[in-house]
Amino acid sequence: MGTFIQQLINGLTVGGIFALIALGYTMVYGVMRLINFAHGDLCILGAFIGLTTLTSAAGGGHPGAGLLLLAFVVSVIVIAVAGVALERIAYRPLRKADRLAAVVSALGASMMIENGIMLVWGPQVHVFPSNLLPATTWHLAGATISFVQVMIILASLVLMIALYLFVNHTRFGTAIRAAAIDQDAARLMGINVNRVIASVFIIGPALGAIGGLFIGIYYREAYFTMGWTYGLYAFIAAILGGIGNIPGAMLGGVLLGLFNAFAAGYVSSSWQDAITFGLLIVILLVRPTGLLGERVAEKV
């Protein structure tokens, strides 16, 4: 029982992170029908920016919890700006072009950010300062849960609920949904589609930066190739939940984290990815648009 609960906690923690990153994929896809392959790298760039803020603000001393908040703020702002810049430079000129051109541009941007991180910060593993957060752990039914895990699970949940309310219960959220259904019709209705697109390139990367910083704080290390790994997992989470669907990305992320934990824990860690992605194939065979996906007719 203790082992089961422990795996549940393990799965929920990484699942929350996957979900935060998956939201960026799904929102951009929803509005632009584009897979932003540079998203994972933006998230990890967020982790690096956060780390640099922490260490430079601490000025050689030991960074405390107040600085951690500052790191989150700086990282979110920088990555949101980077997200908008990415859209302006790499995607807007190609909006009328063949869809493949934008995908290639996205892959190029991904490599550029990844190698940019390497050139600025170097190829070695960067380590986050220890004791940023209380080392408190709680024990329940033979399982342990740490302060960081509670924080990640709760913060992911709060952010996801906030995003859901924003998209479904505000005027701007309605504009986003309208642009996602039909950009031309939305424009005719007086919606500034460019602003909508810019907004998803702010919200997605901002959530991703928080996810990236969570990775850094949870595992206490960051290196430049991490963006690809996490980007791939989050992309799959978005597909699993139904790409373009916001609650779908949340569900997909959490499920992927849980699949991963239970496959490693109860079957074999060497088969972990094979089982996870095998399940993904089965789900997509049964529901080709993902668990909460839109109906295909609407997409075309």
Partner 1 sequence: MKKHQECSKIVLAVCATLGMALAPSAYAASGPIKIGVQAPITGTYADEGQGIERAVKLLAAMQNAKGGLLGRKIEIKVCDDQGQAAQAAICARQLVNDHVVAVIGSYTSGAALAAEPIYARANVIQTSDGTSNELLKRGYKTWFGNAAPNSAEAKFTAHYLVDVRHFKKIAVLTDHSSFATGLAGAVVRDIKADHGNVVDKSFINAGSQNFSPVLTKLKSMHPDVLYFSGYYSDGGLIRAQMVQLGMKAAFVGGDANQNVAFAKIAGSAAAGSIIVNVPAPADLPYPVAKQFVATYKAKYGALPPSVFTLTNADGMRAVMQAIAATKSVKPAKLEAYLHSMKSFQGLTGTFAWSAKGERTGSPFVAFAVQKDGSYKIRYPAPKND
Q: Label residue 157 exposed, middle or buried (CB < 10 Å: 0-12, 13-18, 19+).
A: middle
> Do 212 and 76 form a contact (C-beta atoms < 8 A)?
no
Does residue number 262 form part of the binding site for partner 1 (CB under 8 A)?
yes
Rounded to a whole number of angstroms, the minimum distance from the CB of residue 232 to partner 1 is: 11
Closer to partner 1 by Cβ: residue 179 or 261: 261
* Residues 213 to 252 in contact with partner 1, rule: CB under 8 A: 215, 219-221, 223, 225-226, 229
Pairwise CA distance, residues 12 & 48, whole Å: 24
Q: Indicate which single residue of 36, 53, 110, 260 sits in contact with partner 1 (rule: CB under 8 A).
A: 260
* Residues 166 to 185 in contact with partner 1, rule: CB under 8 A: none
Does residue number 3 form part of the binding site for partner 1 (CB under 8 A)?
yes
Q: Is 140 helix (H, G, I), strand (E, B) or coil?
A: strand
> Do 178 and 39 form a contact (C-beta atoms < 8 A)?
no
Rounded to a whole number of angstroms, the minimum distance from the CB of residue 53 to partner 1 is: 19
Instruction: Pick the stretch among 61-69, 119-127, 184-192, 202-210 that binds partner 1 (CB under 8 A).
Output: 119-127
Q: Indicate which single residue of 112, 146, 157, 294 sits in contact with partner 1 (rule: CB under 8 A).
A: 146
Rounded to a whole number of angstroms, the minimum distance from the CB of residue 134 to partner 1 is: 13
* Joined tokens for residue 85: 């810049």
Closer to partner 1 by Cβ: residue 62 or 287: 62
Q: What b-and-e string marks burial along 193-223, b requiring 16 or more CB atoms within 10 Å of the CB?
A: beebbbbbbbbbbbbbbbbbbbbbbbeeebb
- Quickly tell me which residue has 């209380």 as its tokens: 134
Q: Indicate which single residue of 98, 100, 130, 297 sits in contact with partner 1 (rule: CB under 8 A).
A: 130
> Do 215 and 17 form a contact (C-beta atoms < 8 A)?
yes
- Which has the closest alpha carbon to 159: 7, 67, 22? 22
Does residue number 144 form part of the binding site for partner 1 (CB under 8 A)?
yes
Instruction: Pick the stretch among 10-18, 174-182, 192-200, 238-246 that binds partner 1 (CB under 8 A).
Output: 10-18
Q: What CA–CA distances, in Å, run from 50 to 24, 47, 208, 239, 297?
A: 19, 5, 12, 28, 42
Residue ranges that bind partner 1, judged by CB under 8 A = 2-3, 6-7, 10-11, 13-14, 124-125, 127, 130-131, 135, 137, 139, 144, 146, 215, 219-221, 223, 225-226, 229, 260-266, 268-270, 272-273
